[in-house]
Structure 1
């Protein structure tokens, strides 16, 4: 049979397909209601960030869907669907909000697979004046909450299991690289946070990770993470992977007493990254420097870059000390319901090309 005559995959709206998916979707609703109640009980205000933004985010490996805003006079301005409501939420903190959450629809291009979808739901929440360790407790509470709402005692994915009611393991990135890859990560990070790409590449090769000649430190860091570290995290109990090198924490403040690492952690269960949290950086000059470095890297790798949201940098100067987290809501539902793919927990998946 020629490719042109190959039958298309059964669409999600097929009654049989929908019947199979509906139990997951019903539990999605139960988890959604439980999450909203939890935040309201904690004194949070739900907000709704606009999806159209001047900048979709300034991380090198995030890719946006772009469009144009056309005025009544025919004038055109480039706009982007946000990859996160982060910039808008931080502007709200600058405006005086103190405890907010957003169940935001977000869009990321070049991402599709069992754990990735072009359009998905990102749960973000921010606490003004709170240390980022508070968000670790929030994440643990949300795991247990989702499991209770789904009527399960374990989170599962691809044969792995994680007890959502167990106290999370706290593991620094440096400890994880040493344990799972035999890599001395901080030996490649200078006192001020500068990184040595050649030194990390040499350690990666010794660990059996393939490195390309033009890979920089960040590229090698990512390869080690994906191949050696992530697949080992969050089994039996959740893992809080914390203290990322500052070079890998574009919007997080440095850890007091050790500027080599930042107040950033990620939550893992069953080898799946669920949440990414920061003690938020509020220095506009340092934030601009990091954005410019990220966009230079993006231009080098992908031949494109996104504008910097000057309004965001202006607001940052008025933002109080705060901590914030972004949690992939669809992934949380997957693990709580045992769904094998992210499309199983999305009511109307985006059509594949």
Structure 2
């Protein structure tokens, strides 16, 4: 629903939210991913991604306290998940993605924003780069193996400022060239949310869409016409920020389960297992 919501925002709808189904098959089915899942999205006018982070903290703590009240538990800021107490007390820890790459992978991420350079770095670190001809899979390997295992498990964690090549709809970071105003939220090692300050420059947005189309064409990936109406509406787009939160993953945390099947009536994994 992202594109539709943004068109409404350009017509001065104001702060808004959506709870709707999303389908994503770029990732395979796993204990934390179902092909079809539910997203909560909201947008705040006149705010940036750092303000969205504050709202997110308040929402999660409110939900936690309401669940404690409904189940007759004492009110605390601690969420019990898989024998781990997660402290939800604000402010939550915040880290710059580049700092994490430097600290745990000993990589200057700002110098590894091209495929040629990150491939060289990955090979030096012993990663198998055979058959990989794009930047993102190599970045993902390093993130998964060398960054995510070090994230705090007893606190929610915000990771700020992602490479612009991963964030085509985001405002740029003025003080960090090559990076955008985006954060992801992790809890118990699981990604729960993705948020950013919205790009409101129609010229830059169309340029980003065309770059993405060229990339897909070069690598024989499915390609789709970009939404010209969305680009046109961006000219009237106010300063704002938005976030998307995976409802099923949030439910997993609050119900203390490690498998997304447990919070779905009809998980994709069971359908795939049918003879």
In 2, are the aligned partners of 1:139 and 1:267 still within 8 Å (CA)?
A: no
**1:182 aligned to 2:106?**
yes
- The question of whether the paired residues in 1 share the 8 Å contact of 2:48 and 2:196 is answered with no
Compared CA separation, residues 98 and 248, structure 1 to 2 (3 A): same
Q: Is the 8 A contact 2:202 2:235 kept in 1?
A: yes
Partner of 1:43: none
Question: Deviation at 1:302?
Answer: 5.2
SS at match of 1:104: strand
| Structure 2 residue 60 is the aligned partner of structure 1 residue 143 | yes
Task: Give deviations 1:272-331, integer Å, cap 9, x for gaps.
Answer: 111100100011121122122223333444531122111111111111111000111110
TM-score normalised according to structure 2 size: 0.87
Q: Is the 8 A contact 2:158 2:186 kept in 1?
A: yes
Q: What residue number does 1:274 align with? A: 192
SS of 1:277's equivalent in the other structure is strand
Aligned to 1:154: 79
206 and 294 in structure 1: CA distance in 2 versus 1, 3 angstrom threshold? same
Task: Report the Cα distance in structure 2 between the residues aligned to 1:156 and 1:300, rounded to whole angstroms.
Answer: 44
Separation (CA, whole Å) in 2 of partners of 1:334 and 1:261: 31
2:6 alignment counterpart? 90
3-state SS in 2 of match to 1:97: coil
Q: Quick check: 1:169 aligned with 2:74?
A: no
Match of 1:130 among 23, 40, 47: 47
For the pair 1:106 / 2:22, whether they are aligned, the reply is yes
4+ long deviations beyond 4 Å: none
1:352 — aligned with what?
271
State the TM-score, normalizing by the size of structure 1.
0.69
User: Does the residue aligned with 1:244 lie in a helix, a strand or coil?
Assistant: strand
Unaligned runs of 5+ in 2: none
Q: For 2:251, which of 333, 336, 345 is the aligned residue?
A: 333
Deviations 1:60-85 (A, max 9, x none): xxxxxxxxxxxxxxxxxxxxxxxxx2
How many residue pairs get aligned? The number is: 262
Give the C-alpha shift of residue 208 in structure 1: 3.8
- In the TM superposition, 1:16-95 aligns within 5 A as 85-95=1-11
Structure 1 residue runs of 5 or longer lacking an equivalent are 1-84, 189-194
Residue in structure 2 matched with residue 256 of structure 1 by the alignment: 174
- Residue aligning to 1:196: 114
CA contact (8 A) 1:99 1:125 kept: yes
The alignment partner of 2:178 has SS state of strand
Q: Deviations over 1:198-233 (max 9, x none)?
A: 222222233343323543333321221122222332
Q: Judging changes above 3 Å, is the alpha-carbon distance between structure 1 residues 155 and 165 closer, same or farther for their aligned structure 2 residues? A: farther
Measured against aligned partners, the alpha-carbon deviations of 1:105-136 in whole angstroms (never above 9, x if no partner) come to 11122541111112111010001111221111
**CA 1:326–1:317 in structure 2 vs 1: closer, same or farther (change >3 Å)?**
same
Q: Secondary structure at the match of 1:333?
A: helix
Q: 1:348 to 1:269 in 2, by over 3 A?
A: same
SS of residue paired to 1:259: coil
Bigger relative contact order, structure 1 or 2 (CA pairs below 8 A, ≥6 apart): 2
